[in-house]
Chain A
């Protein structure tokens, strides 16, 4: 697993550090650093919780997403 933290975007809130049960992240100089990327099981709750959207995971298995309402997404795409 390759985890990239955008140092410029990270606000150092430490939410990912608190949230991850496998202690993948640590705060170093007020920036989150993925110190144990091999412990990541790819739940992506850190993505959901990060207020700065500073995280990027590579080589991850993306779970099937049935819950997406395609009609709503099509409408949103027109707006966003």
Chain B
């Protein structure tokens, strides 16, 4: 390795900036536009981790990722206000997921209410519009509905359980490039 290259490296990582540990940063560095490569790197890495997990653990991968997501959901939502009503809980959840996922409560036109009772189960349809999981899967050419989606399922279920104190289950109804339809089953 030439000395010139080492000097160049040293210069690239040297600045006159004074950094104090007590200073609290108020904005991301660098600017979001410059983060594009980092974002793609993270998405690629996540995709590879999930693909490898699926190769090694097979269908068990779903259980692992679901569990991880659920734990995360419980962990994050425990700092949020506890609500008994599902509508309020979904509102809390929407705040919780802001920036990563956006969803709306949805119903087919033949249903009168958003809380649907059918075949002995009570459920709500949720349409997920913005979803970092979908972005990651499409970035890596992976199928939707696999283990990475299970992390989101677990996350939502964990958060809902934590906020309402009720058991819940999330089922995938349909996936698409622009939105996914999910069914939140309340127990």
Contacts and interface: CB of A to CB of B under 8 A. Distances in A.
A75 interface: no
A44 B179 contact: yes
Given A43-B179, A48-B177, A36 B109 contact: yes
A62 B102 CA distance: 12
Contacts, number: 65
A21 to B, nearest CB: 4
Contacts of A61: 129, 178-179
What DSSP secondary structure best describes chain B's contact surface? mixed
Contacts of B108: 22, 39
What DSSP secondary structure best describes chain A's contact surface? loop
A64 B131 CA distance: 8
Contacts of A65: 135
Interface string B136-153: 101100000000000000
Interface of A: 21-22, 36, 38-39, 41-45, 47-48, 60-67, 69-70
Interface of B: 36, 39-40, 43, 106, 108-109, 127, 129-132, 134-136, 138-139, 173-181
